[in-house]
Amino acid sequence: MARFKRAVTKRKGVFNPEDKTRVKHTRVGVWDLYEEINPDLQHIPGSTWIEKTLEAYACLPYLLRMVRDILSIRSCLVLICAYGVAEVLASLVPAALLCSTYHEFKARIQILPGSMGRKPENDQPSSRRAWRTNIWASLHPLRDASK
């Protein structure tokens, strides 16, 4: 099935997605995103970022009005604060898990009997490898039981 070609025109208001000079095409997942390129700002580096920032700044009064309207709902401030606290606590869970795992590993190394818990004094590769193997075996006893 052949696609018909649209005429490329310089008229304002005519949108042609195949005109590479005026339209930027981006694939976002399964979607096609077409953005109009402003020809006046086309050769200025960072102009698209500046345009988006100015558009966001122009929408700021509407955003503030929306926030005021939401906060005017009775008991909504309490729910928003509770949501914020829940999000902060949820973001701290991975860090707390990592910290507890580190302390558990450190405690296991100190408890190990004999030379398994100490790092070898001589810094030779064979002794370092044996030390790591002993640590691994003490942390995973079922691994050695299968041999």
pLDDT in tens, 85-96: 999 999 999 999
Task: Give the pLDDT confidence of 55-93 residue by residue, as tens digits.
Answer: 889 999 999 999 999 989 988 989 999 999 999 999 999
Q: How far apart are CA 46 and CA 56, in angstroms?
A: 16
pTM above 0.75, yes or no: no
Alpha-carbon dihedral 115, 117, 119, 120, rounded to 10 degrees: 10
Q: Specify whether the backbone of 74 is left (phi greater than 0), alpha (psi in -120 to 50) or beta.
A: beta
pLDDT score, position 146: 47
